[in-house]
A and B are shown apart, each in its own frame.
Chain A
Amino acid sequence: MRDNERGAALAEFVITVTVMTMGILLVVLAWRMNGARLEATDVAQSASRAATLGRDEDEAASRGSAMVDGLPPGGSAECSSAQTVVDVSRFQEGWVEVTVTCQVDFTGLTLITNSVGMSITESWIEAVDPARRTFGLAGG
Chain B
Amino acid sequence: MLWWELWGKRYRAEDGVVTAWIVIAMPVMLFFAFGLTWDVGGALLARADAWDVASATARAGAAQSIQEGPPGLDSAVALSVAYEYLGQHPDVGGSVQIDGETVVVDTVVSYDAVFFPGLSWSYTANATAEAQIGIRGPSDAG
Contact = CB atoms under 8 A, between A and B. Distances in A.
A and B interact physically:
yes
Interface in B1-54: 15, 18-19, 22-23, 26-27, 29-30, 33-34, 37-38, 41-42, 44-45, 48-49, 52
Chain A contact surface mostly:
helix
Interface string A1-27: 000110010011001100110110011
B26 A38 contact: no
A4 B29 CA distance: 29
B123 to A, nearest CB: 15
Interface residues of A, number: 33
Interface string A23-36: 10011011101110
A23 B19 contact: no
A37 interface: yes
Contacts of A94: 81
B19 A126 contact: no
Given A19-B22, A45-B52, A126-B56, A27 B37 contact: yes
Contacts, number: 81
A105 to B, nearest CB: 18
Contacts of B67: 130, 134
B23 A15 contact: yes
Contacts of B60: 126-127
B22 A41 contact: no
Interface of B: 15, 18-19, 22-23, 26-27, 29-30, 33-34, 37-38, 41-42, 44-45, 48-49, 52, 56, 59-60, 63-65, 67, 81, 85, 88-89
